[in-house]
Amino acid sequence: MAKINFGGVVEEVVTRDEFSLDKARQVLKNEVVAVLGYGVQGPAQSLNMRDNGINVIVGQRCEDKDCWDKAHKDGWVEGKTLFSLEEAAKRGTVIQYLVSDAAQMMTWPQIKPCLKKGDALYFSHGFSIVYKDQTGIIPPDFVDVILVAPKGSGTSVRANYLAGSGINASFAVQQDATGRAYERTIALGIAIGAGYLFPTTFQNEVYSDLTGERGVLMGALAGVMEAQYNLLRKHGHSPSEAFNETVEELTQSLIRLVDKNGMDWMYANCSTTAQRGALDWRHEFRKAVEPVFDKLYASVASGEQTGIVLKANSASDYKVKLDAELREMRESEMWRAGAAVRSLRPENWKK
Which amino acid, residue 193? Answer: G
For the cut 90, the answer to whether the pLDDT of residue 2 exceeds it is: no
% of the chain exceeding 90 in pLDDT: 85
Question: Strands 120-123 and 144-150, how do they pair?
Answer: parallel
Q: Is 72 a catalytic residue?
A: no
For the cut 90, the answer to whether the pLDDT of residue 7 exceeds it is: no
**Residue from 150, 151, 123, 149 nearest 137 by CA:** 123
Q: Which is the catalytic residue, given 125, 235, 237, 283?
A: 125
**Residue from 135, 136, 143 nearest 114 by CA:** 143
Question: Strands 94-97 and 82-83, how do they pair?
Answer: unpaired
In residues, how long is the chain? 351
Q: Whole-angstrom Cα distance, residue 345 to residue 297?
A: 39
**For 215-348, CATH number?**
1.10.1040.10
Q: What is the pLDDT of residues 154-198, one digit of tens each?
A: 999 999 999 988 889 999 999 999 999 999 999 999 999 998 999
User: Do 215-348 and 2-201 have the same topology in CATH?
Assistant: no
Cα dihedral sign for 218, 214, 133, 316? negative
Q: What is the pLDDT of residues 232-264, one digit of tens each?
A: 999 999 999 999 999 999 999 999 999 999 999
**For 2-201, CATH number?**
3.40.50.720
Q: What is the pLDDT of residues 101-153, one digit of tens each?
A: 999 999 999 999 999 999 999 999 999 999 999 999 999 999 999 999 999 88
Q: Whole-angstrom Cα distance, residue 185 to residue 45?
A: 14
For the cut 70, the answer to whether the pLDDT of residue 350 exceeds it is: no
What residues does each domain of the chain span?
2-201, 215-348
- Name the β-bridge partners of 36: 59, 97
Contact yes or no for 150/169 (Cβ under 8 A)? yes
Give residues with Cβ within 8 angstroms of 258, minimum separation 6. 265, 266
Query: What's the whole-model pTM score?
Result: 0.89
Task: Say whether 198 sits in a helix, a strand or coil.
Answer: strand
Cα 154–chain centre separation = 6
